[in-house]
Structure 1
């Protein structure tokens, strides 16, 4: 360990001691116990999904083992079993994502001599083809069809879908919104509900975004979570809406790579970047800042008034009854812009 790592570890110990926790007590280092403790600190949506993956694919192989007894062969077996089930590379990769914090902490705490998980490749990211390779009509026409279909859904589903469509937030993050997070029509995004701000305190406000009137007119008041169902219910219902009610004009690739909630992030950046620039829209609307390695993300602060301006301009496009669509030149511009847009689609 270098001096900075040692200092950070001593600082953590000092904080735990100030809370009255016995940091020197011997605790179980079995994978099952470590995973239970780690997942208890995660938000509800991530915990539920990760627990299901852990119980099905990981626990039967290494759950009973102490972490220093886990070998590369064990990890390869987890990967091989998942691949044998014909799971997608992205799904296979989730096993490593789930285990990674536990193995990193074990190495940091000198429980293991090395982090063997880093040595094993689990699947890989396979970004979907660009929207223009799956959608056979101008993107603004497609997203307007999706928006109009969502307006006719049951109230609770409608609100979740519209926040995804109009605000381009991840569905897992949307489902973590509490009434207490909403102040004067603005959602104060808690860091613990995002994938982007893992180093902040879970309750710290990491970002803010406005809710459209279509949501505000329905959401009412209350306490606790706005959305009561688990993510799979919303995802399946959204997929059903896309496949049966939107009447999108699609290309062949959309069969293997269907339009789903996450594509709403591609829609907003593809459409709004023509006016505001891809980097600005990405930073303002997509919760995708890398403050460690990206200079703009680290030092560039976007004021709420400018964030609202981007959204309101987008909402006007969605609500417009004008049948005029993008020209061929605009489509070509989208193609050029989308060459780099995959970095925002994760």
Structure 2
């Protein structure tokens, strides 16, 4: 049986330092939600609170109808997968996986059968008698995953589980984790600092900063429609251009930058545009044109970098340092005057902050 997780108005301190402030999060039954952010943002503290390794200053944590807030860690029945694997070095792979079943005093025959079945699911039944020291990093992580899943927890939590693995193995393991989580239908909370990992594995992602959730949404929405400047920067919008509307003509909106450079945008593709806003774009959302009559932002091109698929330019435009991509067919020299043309399909509208 799996259950939804509800974190309600949690505040937590380390000594005099406030780490989380009024944080709320709901993870639906069978959903995988990732907590994503830089070191110190509060994501690991959130996991530690849910696991029972520390207590909140205020707020509640519920798993289904059960209040976990003050329960000791061993009474929460949560599966945990750690960055360091946390395997018992003196126990075989089989006994590591069966450890939680033994703690629950299941019959020995059932322990062995369930542990072996789980090892088969993670492709390690042939290594059941090995010790952890005889395994590779990927194999150790599979054992840790099997140990967490075999107890059939209502909630499974991951703390940076792939950070010790090489790049290719990280990709392989995140696919395996996602497949197993979906097959079991287990509710899961996943902590990582790796954006690609979080986006590829999650139903929803909570981007955190300074103990708060800045946006909680699907990976697609976060990537295409960030809610604020912090999230936009975090997911790779290099350019944030403040604009003020000067006129409206049906779906077309005329706006100016802080230094008076004019721009015309269509609400048909960008959505509603307020009187003051920030146009957020990635480098590939600003196309470099050599046509001085083109509609866009006049710019002076700076450093040119070859990306394989395009040339990227550091630009001075609209009183802002901007980054824009140009065609490989028509490279421009630094110092060239050009026009930067926004691509509405690669832009987002943000409110001023």
If the TM-score is normalised by the length of the shorter chain, which range does it land in?
Answer: under 0.3
**When you count strand as a share of all residues, which structure comes out higher?**
2
**When you count helix as a share of all residues, which structure comes out higher?**
1
The TM-score normalised by the length of structure 2 is 0.22
